[in-house]
Amino acid sequence: MSDSIDELFEAYRDYGRTAYLGEALSITDHMLQTAEAAERDGAPPALVAAALLHDVAYLLRRPADGAGDPDLDGRHAEIGFAFLSRRFVAAVAGPVGLHVAAKRYLCAVDPGYRAALSAASIRTLEVQGGPFDPAEVRAFEALPHARDAVRLRRWDDQGKVPGAPTPDLEHFRPILEAHLLGRAS
Ligand SMILES: [Fe+2]
């Protein structure tokens, strides 16, 4: 995939519209809903961009049936970070890189969190390493972007409602363009 937002959006409109992450909505609808939740919550623009991009690894790797590839489910945050950190500022790429760690963190520190996860998200938790132990919790909290990753994670979990209305991709284009490397003001 090239660096252009056009090609990125093409992937959202093409593969992303037809593939599912074990949820009852497409990858693209899931990411749009996550971004919409971030925007509704008053998130800074870089974090709205991170929300829209957080599962980009699935668009890059294109597994035949969305989720169900344990290796990709386990590594999609790192794969997304590797792609995004070459194209977008750290405030976008950083939280994406930690959004799976944030799930493991929340499972450790918030008793109600795990109970509210979707069935698909509970399944992937195992290949992602399970809940953090106390030392991992402390190490996570010390990381840059950890707090933003936790916010992103909660929007991610909200963004799984089949048929929920969202803005279209073009609504988010200016936010993405403003946070490309070398273009941030
Ligand atoms: Fe997600």
Q: What is the pLDDT of residues 113-141, one digit of tens each?
A: 999 988 888 988 988 899 999 999 999 99
pLDDT at residue 6, rounded to an integer: 95
Distance 135 CA to ligand 1 centre (A): 25
Per domain, the residue ranges of the chain are 2-178
pLDDT at residue 127, rounded to an integer: 87
Distance 86 CA to ligand 1 centre (A): 21
Yes or no: say if 48 and 92 are a contact pair by the CB < 8 Å rule: no
Distance 62 CA to ligand 1 centre (A): 15
pLDDT, one tens digit per residue, over 69-112 is: 777 888 999 999 999 999 999 999 999 999 999 999 999 999 89
pLDDT at residue 19, rounded to an integer: 84
181 — pLDDT class (breaks 50, 70, 90)? very high
Distance 55 CA to ligand 1 centre (A): 5
Count, residues in the chain: 185
Distance 159 CA to ligand 1 centre (A): 7
Yes or no: say if 61 and 166 are a contact pair by the CB < 8 Å rule: no
- Would the pLDDT of 156 be above 60? yes
**The domain defined by 2-178 carries CATH number 3.30.70.20:** no
Indicate the average pLDDT of the chain: 92
pLDDT at residue 33, rounded to an integer: 98
pLDDT at residue 81, rounded to an integer: 98
pLDDT, one tens digit per residue, over 20-71 is: 888 889 999 999 999 999 999 999 999 999 999 999 999 998 877 666 677 7
pLDDT at residue 68, rounded to an integer: 65
pLDDT at residue 67, rounded to an integer: 63
Number of Cβ within 10 Å of residue 120's Cβ equals: 18
pLDDT at residue 73, rounded to an integer: 82
- Residue 32 and residue 129: Cα distance in Å, rounded? 27
Which residues make up the environment of ion ligand 1, defined by Cβ < 5 Å? 55, 156
Distance 185 CA to ligand 1 centre (A): 28
Distance 53 CA to ligand 1 centre (A): 9
Q: Is the dihedral of CA 8, 80, 94, 33 positive or negative?
A: positive
Phi, psi of 13 (to 5 degrees): -80, -25
- Residue 58 and residue 171: Cα distance in Å, rounded? 22
Distance 75 CA to ligand 1 centre (A): 13
Distance 175 CA to ligand 1 centre (A): 19
Q: Where are the alpha helices (DSSP H) in the chain?
A: 5-13, 15-18, 27-40, 45-53, 56-61, 70-84, 90-97, 99-109, 111-115, 119-127, 134-141, 146-158, 169-178
Distance 99 CA to ligand 1 centre (A): 8
Distance 69 CA to ligand 1 centre (A): 15
